[in-house]
Amino acid sequence: MTLANVISDLAPTGKIRAAINFGNPVLALKDSVTEQPRGVSVDLSRELSARLGVPVEFVTYSAAGKVVDAVTANEWDVAYVAIDPIRGAGIFQTPPYVVIEGAYLVANSSPICTNDEVDHEGIRVAVGKGSAYDLFLTRELKRASIVRAPSSPATVEMMVQQKLEVAAGVRQQLESDARRLSGLRVLDGRFMVINQAMATPKGRNAGGEYLHDFVQEMKASGFVAEALRRNGIEGAAVAPMKGW
């Protein structure tokens, strides 16, 4: 693996096109003042750009599913997505850099009190189309049905409007929605752990190998932890080094 090969893989157009997903507030947000993207995925993209000595261009998306779909259109070189076997079919994924929780939200009046009570006949679960929760719950739910919102940020609004029983998503997003909208509560615990990784299209072997080592170094050095702190992200944890 040479630096030239890495740059050819990760910046084939002369710049790193980094896919930034605004659908997950743990990873990226639009700054309220500058309207520019900020967050841990943005910070990692800028650090990668500095190390390779090439500029970075942010390609923004409203949902993780749209990021994954865009790989076939060659719209990005580096992305930030949850590790999932279906997504892994078309993209190389690094070890995780951040671990976040998938949680359920219900109405205050709902009889549902635990995660185990969700998977029952007649329960409709709202999820963002193509999100990690969509992929996971599609495999795991046996009796409840899934109703897909256009994006993860639209999930709770759709749940409320259509009077669905449950919404599933990032705990931080659901807790924010529960504070913003009245009559909602987030269930204790989690129904899944989401391992967020960097990604590049399959076939870019030198780039994939470089990203693997890059992510591990960013965790070990404290860069990821500092990026989470700087961007005010609570509830997410730096992924462990071992096991990957």
Per-residue pLDDT of 64-94, as tens digits, reads 888 988 888 999 999 999 898 877 778 999 9
Rounded alpha-carbon distances, angstroms, from residue 181 to 28, 157, 178, 233:
22, 9, 5, 21
* Domain 100-192, architecture per CATH: 3-Layer(aba) Sandwich (3.40)
How much is the pLDDT for 133?
86
E strand or H helix at 126: strand 124-128
Which tokens is 201 given?
Answer: 């299209």
Res 230: pLDDT? 92
Does the pLDDT of residue 180 top 70, yes or no? yes
At 5, give phi and psi (nearest 5°). Answer: -65, -40
pLDDT at 159: 97
Residue range 38-59, pLDDT digits in tens: 999 999 999 999 999 999 999 9
Q: Which range among 21-30, 114-123, 143-152 shows the weakest confidence by mean pLDDT?
A: 21-30
Residue 109 is given by DSSP the state T
CATH 3.30.565.10 fits 3-99+195-238, yes or no: no
Residue 71 contacts by C-beta under 8 Å, 6 or more apart in sequence?
A: 79, 90, 91, 201
Domain with CATH 3.40.190.10 in the chain: 3-99+195-238, 100-192
Residue 210 contacts residue 223 (beta carbons within 8 Å)? no
Q: What is the DSSP letter of 213?
A: H
- Say whether pLDDT at 235 is over 80: no
**pLDDT tens digits along 98-119:** 998 899 999 999 999 999 999 9
Give percent above pLDDT 90 in the chain. 71
d(CA 184, CA 92): 38
